[in-house]
Chain A
């Protein structure tokens, strides 16, 4: 579900891959804020767009919101993807991992970079907003059941063969197994690889130290030192 949020004030500068911590409307069932990545930004109308998949009580209460409701957000959080000096990227996402890819794709396109998306889902119903992504770049899809695009995982798609040849960098967001699988392929090639992690977190601002991931230089907070990491820094 798409949540279009109208800010009462001018939006701050937001990097692709950054996220919000949203207070869920029905806090009797949930306690902590929910970290949700920023799907798109409309600076002209001061709008933030989130893509929310219902997985638990928190996201359920968000999807039950009626038009005109008010939400309390802390944003923009995290480092985000660095789009400077990117030349030939492949944007890989699985499931709800497509969420940050819209704003990332648009930001790259704005820098005159050709955008190629490679999205994977269990079946065709998991592939969302295909037309909108096609407006930004080329879209390649895989589904596990073959109901849309190429059958199989993203790692089995023909575009993956072009890593290190046509593509010099990959930006990945999705299930951890998928990101690790992409990481394993990339390790053998001369390609930089950035992944966006989604560890469970409480504060979102680097205070609670709950969301850490293991890196070559020790535990790092996914909320402030991530969520985007160069795969070389992770102990995968």
Chain B
């Protein structure tokens, strides 16, 4: 598959923040069998993230408030990159920041890494006080940060969009015009959980990001809308648990998918979804997986 220059052996990637650096999953599956992995959100400086509790389980999903805990881009380049260097798949780094210059500096560092063919620019994290989602909720700021990163980042630039907007198509158009090579959607949906017994919020941050099957219908709708608005490829994510879910996203217009929260339920699920997609194609006598992209019959 050709995702606007990024070659994938299959359409299945793993979502940032749900797959560590891939290494955590080596015991469960052959990480290199995937189309790609998108590693943990990385920022210019180390971040401790939010206080515990960071997790609320809800019906058909979970709300997290991790807050981009990571050791910073220098640590990634020095200590993590050598460990993921030999994966025979696309290792993309999810890049986040609290101001444009942070995004730019981080992207510049990643640009130097030979075996990292792209970044996923995270302008949609709901769990950080400054930056993050703020960049992804207005066309102007989304365009500005993507333009700035585009100046310094020469490889595949994927931009991850927030669902916490009135019109996601407008944002997608803005980042496309700013030079994005692809968009991935959706990030988590802003949500909260309350413990009625204690009358307190479950999360330390009160609100967090909802993921899992609970958000799949929203994600499908947004992929469908964005596919009508932009020409660049779409990577669909949000509650994919099965190969059938992945196929639905592709029918709605996604060229590839990311598996997120499902990795927590079954650490081998991504490889199983690859096999499930192959099975689907065989059952339907489809020789080219690309032919199902946007193949929704309406």
Q: Which residues of A contact B (CB under 8 A)?
A: 23, 30-33, 74, 199-214, 218-219
| Residues of chain A contacted by B64 (CB below 8 angstroms) | 202, 208, 210
Task: Please tell me if the beta carbons of A211 and B55 are within 8 angstroms of each other in the complex.
Answer: yes
Counting residue pairs across A and B whose Cβ atoms lie within 8 Å, the total is 78
For the residues of A in contact with B, the DSSP-based class is: loop
| Residues of chain A contacted by B261 (CB below 8 angstroms) | 202
Task: Please tell me if the beta carbons of B264 and A208 are within 8 angstroms of each other in the complex.
Answer: yes
Task: Please tell me if the beta carbons of A31 and B58 are within 8 angstroms of each other in the complex.
Answer: yes
Task: Please tell me if the beta carbons of B49 and A212 are within 8 angstroms of each other in the complex.
Answer: yes
Task: Please tell me if the beta carbons of A33 and B265 are within 8 angstroms of each other in the complex.
Answer: yes
| Residues of chain B contacted by A206 (CB below 8 angstroms) | 20, 24
Interface string of B55-69 (1 = CB under 8 A from A): 101111110101001
Task: Please tell me if the beta carbons of A212 and B69 are within 8 angstroms of each other in the complex.
Answer: yes
Distance between A199 CB and nearest chain B CB, rounded to angstroms = 6
Show 20 residue pairs from A and B whose CB-CB distance is below 8 angstroms, ordered by the A residue.
Answer: A31-B57, A31-B58, A31-B265, A32-B57, A32-B265, A33-B264, A202-B261, A203-B24, A203-B264, A203-B267, A205-B20, A205-B267, A206-B20, A207-B19, A208-B264, A209-B49, A209-B66, A210-B54, A210-B66, A211-B52
Which of A23, A201, A207, A209 makes the CB contact (< 8 A) with B25? A207
Q: Which residues of B contact A (CB under 8 A)?
A: 17-20, 24-25, 48-49, 51-55, 57-62, 64, 66, 69, 212, 261, 263-267
Task: Please tell me if the beta carbons of B264 and A219 are within 8 angstroms of each other in the complex.
Answer: no
Q: Which of A203, A207, A214, A219 gathers the greatest number of chain B CB atoms within 10 Å? A: A207
Q: Which of B19, B24, B55, B266 gathers the greatest number of chain A CB atoms within 10 Å? A: B55
Distance between B19 CB and nearest chain A CB, rounded to angstroms = 6
Distance between B48 CB and nearest chain A CB, rounded to angstroms = 6
| Residues of chain A contacted by B51 (CB below 8 angstroms) | 214
Task: Please tell me if the beta carbons of B49 and A32 are within 8 angstroms of each other in the complex.
Answer: no
User: How many angstroms between the C-alpha atoms of A210 and B51 in the bound complex?
Assistant: 10
| Residues of chain A contacted by B55 (CB below 8 angstroms) | 200-202, 208, 210-211
Given known pairs A31-B265, A33-B264, A200-B53, the reply for A205 and B48 (CB within 8 Å) is no
Task: Please tell me if the beta carbons of B62 and A212 are within 8 angstroms of each other in the complex.
Answer: no
- A sample of 11 more A-B contacts (CB under 8 A), given A31-B265, A200-B55, is A201-B55, A206-B24, A207-B18, A207-B24, A207-B263, A208-B17, A208-B264, A212-B54, A212-B69, A214-B52, A219-B49
Which of B24, B49, B54 makes the CB contact (< 8 A) with A205? B24
| Residues of chain A contacted by B25 (CB below 8 angstroms) | 205, 207
